[in-house]
Structures are given as structure tokens and as C-alpha cells.
Amino acid sequence: MQKFRLIDLYAGIGGIRLGFDQALGDSARFVFSNEIDDQCCITYKENFGVDPIGDITKIKSVDIPDFDLLLAGFPCQAFSIAGRREGFNDLRGTHFFEIARIIEDKKPKAFFLENVKHFEKHNKGRTFKTVKKTLEEKLGYTLYHQVLNARDFGLAQNRERIFMVGFKDPISFKFPSPMRKKNTVADILESNVDGKFFLSQRYLDTLKKHRQRHEDSNHGFGYIVLDKQKTANTLVLGGMGTERNLIKDTASLRKSGRKDANSEAIRRLTPREALRLQGFPDSYKIAVSKTAMFRQAANSVAVPVIKAIALQMMKTLEEKKSAPTLMPYVK
């Protein structure tokens, strides 16, 4: 396999990088990364040995080393259905144009972009139309996009995201097909979980009342105790996001000795379980607080999906490299 130089923009905790690392192995050499969140930078450095550069808007393209592949999971809060859908009216939404600037200046062989599922439909499709037009018409790349679900790639989480892959040359590309392997919540659970992850009886009672109010109003929102033999809901933050994936864990509660926990043995997911839901290996190091790590995991990506797409990209680029160059026909 040919060698590739990569840059990791809006890197978060390195989920996209990890997927490409797993796919490319020694053929991958990361030459640049950026992330503005200090806590994410701590986690990134602990796991990859490099400290990401900060604000990409202040980095000139000339100061970025030459590279072959650009990776970016650009800020999605501005486009998420969990937020206010402000899109390009939100400052975070304009970060796409920083990516476009770097692609235009550096002209990589290919790029990989990730965002929320509803990015394609935001503002009646006008946002995505602008992105597509910029990448194809202005920058001259062949663009492919598709929504993929993490549960179709061996993860116990229902998480749909849109993925965009572009090539400098006109190349035919196919996104990976779903895997047959299916996992459940039971596959990612830790044993002997600390008692502090269990809800107090008072808080659980509050959640029940809150859910009842929403049900009476037909809002359909409230806490959810997962069926361990099924798939988890999408990891989300904000509001009652952490209560959308609760677990009943009688064994851990009994061993923890906690006396003020709820009588139903309901607990939150641990940071390690959240990482497992995203496909991070247990060798991935937790270097920040449990609250910060859970937030980082929820904001990250499904690593096996990234790996599967990366393998397809490498296959496509390898086939392009090995294809014979045809001489023009002359009469």
C-alpha cells in the first residue's frame, strides 16, 4: 500500500484519526492536527502523543505541511436536530469554509468529512447544496456522500451520520456495505461499576415525574432504561441526554455498597461504556474527568464506520494508482 500523509482537522479526541490509523496502519503518517477544546486536546495528546494546534481560522495554509488526505468532522452543533439548526448563520457553521480554503490551497488527493445526518436537509437543502457546489464546482473534486448507521458496523448504538468523500481525480467510489455482525448493549457493559453512577431514589423519582409530564403533553421525552439485548440510543448531550441511555445493574449496585441509590438499580453509562459504544478500544486512555470524558465520547464518531470508509478510500486510490495510463488514440 502506498504511503499517505494526513491532516486531522476539528479532531476532537481523534476518533476519525483512529479509524484511519486502523485502516492504513504503517501507511498513515499524520503531519498536522487541530482542535480548539482544551479538554479534548488533553485526551488527544494522551492517546496520540501530539498536542493539536488550536484555532484553525488563525492558521495560514502555507503553515500546514503538505498532505494527501484531509480528515475533518467539522462542528455539527449548528446543524444538529438536537440544537436550533442555525447552520451557516451560526459561527460554527462557517468552519466548513476553513476546510474549503485549505483544500483549495493545498489540493490534496482526497478528503473525508463527517457531520450529523440532518446536515443534508438543513435549511431545505440549501446548506448542503452550497457545500456540494463549493467542493465540486469551485474546488473541482468528485464528491460522494451517504448516511450510514453505526449499528450496521458492529456497534450497539443507533447513530446515523452523513459522510462525504471527495477525490481530486474523477474516481468511482462505493461506500462500505453493512456488516452482518450485530452487537447489543450487553456487549459493552462493564462489571462492578462504581456506586456513584447509580441514580439516587430522589432523582429517579424526579425523572419519572418529568417523563409523565411529557407523556401527558404528547412530547414523548423522558428517561429511558435500555434493554440490554437491544441497541442503545444515540449518545447525546444537553438537556437530559445522559438519561436517554440508562442501565439496570443490580449486581454492580449490590457490590458497590451504596445505600442511597434507587431501589431499581438504575445507573448511567460509564465513560468507558460510552467509548465502547463508539467503537474505541479499551486501550484508549481516559485522561480527563469522567464527566468530560463522557461528553467527549458523545461528541465523537463511530470508529468502525470510519475504518470501513477509510478502507474503501484506500482501495479506490490504490486501484487508481495501478490502473494503466491509456495513450490517446491517433488515426
In Å, how far from its chain's centre is CA 33? 16
Residues 81, 130: Cα–Cα separation, whole Å: 19
Residues 203, 223: Cα–Cα separation, whole Å: 11
Residue 72: beta bridge partners? 9, 113
pLDDT digits (tens, 9 = 90+) for 180-198: 888 999 999 999 999 999 9
**pLDDT < 50 positions in the chain:** 77-85, 87-88, 90-93, 325-331
Nearest CA to 153 out of 268, 241, 231 is that of 231
CATH architecture of 4-178+301-322: 3-Layer(aba) Sandwich (3.40)
Nearest CA to 116 out of 150, 88, 84, 75 is that of 75
Residues 43, 50: Cα–Cα separation, whole Å: 10
Nearest CA to 158 out of 55, 61, 209, 227 is that of 227
Q: What is the pLDDT of residue 239?
A: 53
Residues 165, 160: Cα–Cα separation, whole Å: 16
* pTM of the predicted model as reported, rounded to 2 decimal places: 0.89
User: Are the beta carbons of 274 and 261 closer than 8 angstroms?
Assistant: no
Q: What is the pLDDT of residue 95?
A: 82
Residues 6+ apart with CB under 8 A from 282: 272, 276
Residues 314, 307: Cα–Cα separation, whole Å: 10
**Which residues of the chain form CATH 3.40.50.150?**
4-178+301-322
Q: What is the pLDDT of residue 221?
A: 60
* C-alpha grid cell, residue 326: 491509456
User: Are the beta carbons of 158 and 233 closer than 8 angstroms?
Assistant: yes
Q: Tell me how far apart the 2 most distant CA atoms of the chain are, in Å.
A: 90
Report how far apart, in Å, the C-alpha atoms of 72 and of each of 59, 131, 193, 234, 267 are.
Answer: 15, 14, 34, 21, 34
Q: What is the pLDDT of residue 244?
A: 80
Catalytic residue IDs:
76
Q: What is the pLDDT of residue 81?
A: 43
Q: What is the pLDDT of residue 331?
A: 45
Residues 6+ apart with CB under 8 A from 244: 223, 224, 233, 234, 236
pLDDT digits (tens, 9 = 90+) for 257-267: 999 999 999 99
Report how far apart, in Å, the C-alpha atoms of 33 and of each of 16, 46, 113, 170 are.
Answer: 11, 14, 15, 27
Report how far apart, in Å, the C-alpha atoms of 104 and of each of 3, 127, 136, 137, 149 are.
Answer: 22, 19, 11, 12, 30
